[in-house]
Structure 1
């Protein structure tokens, strides 16, 4: 059976640009008077490695408390616009139109849309009435890699068809004024908005093929990362132990995933990782026995866009492709569950 190949990749961010120094100043105004511990946590903003981020709403919008209706309205409006922009770029790069797409996989965990996003943009995208829709919710930061795995399997199952993957997250909409917690401050210091779109096809070859994929779910780790839900919206569940967890547990999990692919660490020429933040990038380099600074594209993406959850690793892949992929790369991301997701790519020069 032919393997799925990457036909095109495109990314998109909303127009509102937030400098990290301005976010910190606003956070002081909003949280400083009410949260005595904020002075201790404010150093997080400088330690993320982030210079700027993007948001779907103007900066001033985030300075007022918001509830579910406002957040949902902002999510639908912003996500639909980003979906169309990223997907149209990917279609243009592949010399395709919306009507050429046979399957759409939509990955998002930062808002609720029913009907789902690909249905809402179907007319604007020109999707056919028989397009297969696969909305995926709840994978968080692992969604870009897991979504690529799902899309590749669907392409492989129907050779010659075009599968569109869109990973889109509006993390900024989860900003909370009422949660005077360290986890909320960490989230405010890290997250931004963005989308990535990939078109896959099996059966006619391609420079970059999806060789294999695998996941590892650790037991009893539900509290490491995720959402809580209350009348105001999503509330972040975020443990600062993630870098330590990566250092201690990721390597053996990835070794097991690779073994199921009949590969080893020595077979991987480049790791392409979801950059959760500077400390997570450092932990990834330690876990994979890489030299300090090896994950250069990861650091550049986090500096320019922040942590956008699921599409972030696809931004890294875009930069790595521009520099030139080696024979075999491994995409990795960690997400709620707590889960490691991996996709092996084979690239022909």
Structure 2
């Protein structure tokens, strides 16, 4: 039985479109493993054991903002930031234009722009830097958000819903853009860094939302769960060279043991029973994380097929990745209700429940 205490359809936010974009430089996982061996094997004694992660991630290809050779030299903050800004601006424009076109919307009709990004520092923020290229109005409301990491796609959608509902008929453009490759490090000989070189890629995804619209689906509600004393599980460290990945090996078992009950509680607050969910749309952080999510959500092994397909083609792009999955689910035919979920720094879990348009 479905129990919904959320907003009536007429007061909800409609999801009008989802679109994705990737940068031009393709890296195969075979080449990534070969390059990593060249860079790390002689300097990291445990590399032979770690090397298998390149074959077990479920990743076949990734996309980068720079040619591979650019990453084979030491880079400081300045060069990393330049790469981030160039790549993020181009990806923003590409994804945003695709989403606006799919929604039948002009940039000048957008009332609020939300930019989700945690892989670089931009002041002025990304949406300000592309303001002229996009054709946004001078009075467009800008909301740049930093620090949500892999949870940014889901939490950004929840924020877009709240801001859209703040004004009747308001149109919100959400863009999640990450240049994970700007944080690749040659100088950091740790297991977390080597695993990161096997997992992360660059990409962007955008969505257009409008309060009171029908769209592809309507947002029923959203929620977040933050676990206490888990700051060391995922995030960034900062030093004189750049950002350094914090990536704990306990993420998959933690997810398996804790995420299911947290999502049940979020759904309870929204007013949706888990049995009423036709499809969970999950952020695929890695092959083991996907398996852990299937276990904690009592899904059959292999159920999260779109998640595995996105991971194989693009790797973990942080915040945009779950929107890549949502794009595939929508194109394949969304069930009556879908719940998007992603894990991120904090350590946290975010959820957004969507009901398919009639």
In the alignment, what sits opposite 2:47?
A: 38
What are the ranges of 5 or more consecutive residues in structure 2 without an aligned counterpart? 1-9
Aligned-partner Cα distance in 1 for 2:325–2:14: 18
Alignment equivalent of 2:297, drawn from 281, 284, 288 = 288
Matches within 5 A, 1:139-218: 139-218=148-227
TM-score by length of 1: 0.99
- The Cα shift of 1:251 comes to 0.8
In the alignment, what sits opposite 2:274?
A: 265
In the alignment, what sits opposite 2:310?
A: 301
Matches within 5 A, 1:1-349: 2-349=11-358
- The Cα shift of 1:98 comes to 1.2
TM-score by length of 2: 0.96
- The Cα shift of 1:111 comes to 0.3
- The Cα shift of 1:37 comes to 0.7
2:17–2:216 contact (8 Å) kept in structure 1: no
2:63–2:202 contact (8 Å) kept in structure 1: yes
Q: Could you list the structure 1 runs, at least 4 aligned residues long, displaced by more than 3 angstroms after superposition.
A: none
2:233–2:345 contact (8 Å) kept in structure 1: yes
> How many residue pairs end up in the alignment?
349
Aligned-partner Cα distance in 2 for 1:132–1:206: 22
Aligned-partner Cα distance in 1 for 2:313–2:216: 28
Aligned-partner Cα distance in 2 for 1:339–1:29: 36
- The Cα shift of 1:157 comes to 1.1
What are the ranges of 5 or more consecutive residues in structure 1 without an aligned counterpart? none
Q: State the SS of the aligned residue for 2:284.
A: coil
Q: Deviations over 1:79-115 (max 9, x none)?
A: 0001001101111112222111110000000000000
